[in-house]
Structure 1
């Protein structure tokens, strides 16, 4: 009798445990990447004080201190109506394109890559499409 009682308790316990599922819920505060597209026309560039660099500032309030300290900011440009992109920094058509960013602003820079004083720097002749991607990141110190 004890043998059957133990067997019944074992079967009931087995049936009870087989109905349980372990569910793991992972919450994350990381937001999806955010992409911003801007068009910079050839008349919107400014010369630096020394005249050796062309600059264009993009006001981007979404670029918060978090992205300076922990996240990621990627910038690419398209000269061919978004058929392709060059990730900055890059040299294109004899000009060196680079980027600098701070809270709230992205600054595009165009320079002569060999800094030849005989070459007069001219704004790009066509509009440039700028893609800025803000990415969250899990910073590990």
Structure 2
């Protein structure tokens, strides 16, 4: 009985050791774009509840818009940090929308305690990452 168990263990260990694990890494064609929004470029909506700024870039074409991932980060006050949109900071909600050739960034109140958002007084650095889909 011991010999049979030993033979089965040997066969099982040889079978498991012969399994091959492959790691497949595909190189991606990602693109990082840095843009700036000057303080005077923020436009207030008619009701004053939204501040908006537009960034144009022809690299956001039909194919990129439909097939790829588009991530947006901002560095408030052009500091040494980035925050990924959307996020809320100090009752200000930061969000973005993407359309062909442009990205619109909006600042709104997150809870309407103070319905009118604070207009940035310094330059805002924006990082846009275009992530190409492999399909």
Calculate the TM-score normalised by the size of structure 2. 0.72
Q: Which has the larger radius of gyration?
A: 1
What is the DSSP-based 3-state SS (H/G/I as helix, E as strand, rest coil) of the residue aligned with 1:125? coil
- Once residues 78 and 48 of structure 2 are traced to their aligned partners in structure 1, the CA distance between those partners, rounded to angstroms, is 28
What is the DSSP-based 3-state SS (H/G/I as helix, E as strand, rest coil) of the residue aligned with 1:67? helix
**1:36 aligned to 2:36?**
no
Matches within 5 A, 1:4-83: 32-79=29-76, 81-83=78-80
What is the DSSP-based 3-state SS (H/G/I as helix, E as strand, rest coil) of the residue aligned with 2:60? coil
- Once residues 138 and 32 of structure 1 are traced to their aligned partners in structure 2, the CA distance between those partners, rounded to angstroms, is 9
Structure 1 residue ranges, 4+ long, deviating more than 3 angstroms after superposition: none
CA RMSD, 1 decimal: 2.0
**1:110 aligned to 2:79?**
no
Give yes or no for contact 2:50–2:116 (8 Å, CA) kept in 1: no
Q: Aligned pairs, how many?
A: 110
Q: Provide Cα deviations, 1:54-73, integer angstroms capped at 9, x if missing partner.
A: 00011111101112221011
- Once residues 48 and 80 of structure 1 are traced to their aligned partners in structure 2, the CA distance between those partners, rounded to angstroms, is 22
Matches within 5 A, 1:111-130: 111-116=108-113, 118-130=114-126
- Once residues 94 and 126 of structure 1 are traced to their aligned partners in structure 2, the CA distance between those partners, rounded to angstroms, is 19
Unaligned runs of 5+ in 2: 1-25
